[in-house]
Amino acid sequence: GLDVGTVSAIFNAGSSFSSSSSGGGGGGGESIWCEDPNKTDDDLGVETKIVSFNAAKNDPHGSAVMPLYQTATFAQPSATEFGPYDYTRSGNPTRDAAQKILAELDGGCASYVFSTGMAAIMAVTRFAQSGDEVILSDDSYGGTYRLLSQVASRAGIKTTYVDLSGEEGPINLANAMNSKTALVMVESPTNPMMRVCPLQALADVCHSHSSRALLSVDNTLMSPLLMRPLGQLISN
């Protein structure tokens, strides 16, 4: 099987985003999808969205299933005209189709698909720069812990570990936040202790205590089928 990590992002005043991840480290891709910000399909169930999504509607051969474009480069109309794709690293129809449906399921306007979950998490940590602080749930996936403690730390990024679960979680977060906090990273339920974190309350703390801190939600365990941090919880 293919281990895929995604980051679905919506930047309302640059204040929040979520990430759905699984697995360990790898490559990347990028795409923007925000077809109509005023359009809503909230009346459709997630199952209906999945089965009715036509990923291959633009396929020139009328494929009923999205083809796998396993090519590095794409031919251009002419030496002076360029099509929508040129090099797979910068854009690929198969990847764009996956990003579009994932953005829709997560309730975001953009989705970025990576080859692994750790690649997605690595990209998220780039929102913090030297001198910044990251607040990480004290019960987090081991790969995330090692990334911050062994890699990000060498870039001058400090990590503070805080219990973000239960009723005390938002209080603990408020006490830990400061002017250097650039990123708050949480997974709910936590891994491996399965603690539930009150995401909306944590988002409210982030928004009220800082104009720059981002809240990242690792949605590996629930997936968009059971929880949508962007569409349901932290979109305000």
* Predicted local confidence at residue 45, as pLDDT: 80
Pair 220, 191: CB distance under 8 Å? yes
Least confident of 18-27, 43-52, 98-107, 118-127: 18-27
Per-residue confidence band for 234, with pLDDT thresholds at 50, 70 and 90 = low
Least confident of 13-27, 34-48, 156-170: 13-27
Is a pLDDT exceeding 80 seen at residue 176?
Answer: yes
Least confident of 129-133, 173-177, 225-229: 225-229
Counting residues of the chain whose pLDDT is more than 70, the rounded percentage is 79
169/107 Cα distance (integer angstroms): 25
What number of CA atoms fall less than 13 Å from residue 206's CA on the CB side? 29
Tell how far CA 88 is from the center of its chain. 21
Residue of 130 and 110 predicted with greater confidence: 130
Residue of 36 and 43 predicted with greater confidence: 43
* Predicted local confidence at residue 15, as pLDDT: 38
pTM (two decimals): 0.80
Question: How confident is the model over 61-106, as pLDDT tens digits?
Answer: 889 889 999 999 999 999 999 999 999 999 999 999 999 988 888 8
Residues 6+ apart with CB under 8 A from 188: 165, 195, 196, 197, 199, 217, 221, 222, 227
| Mean pLDDT, range 26-43, rounded to an integer | 44
| Mean pLDDT, range 128-152, rounded to an integer | 97
Question: How confident is the model over 197-213, as pLDDT tens digits?
Answer: 999 999 999 999 988 99
* Predicted local confidence at residue 205, as pLDDT: 95
Question: Mind spelling out the 3-state secondary structure of 85-102?
Answer: CCECCCCCHHHHHHHHHH
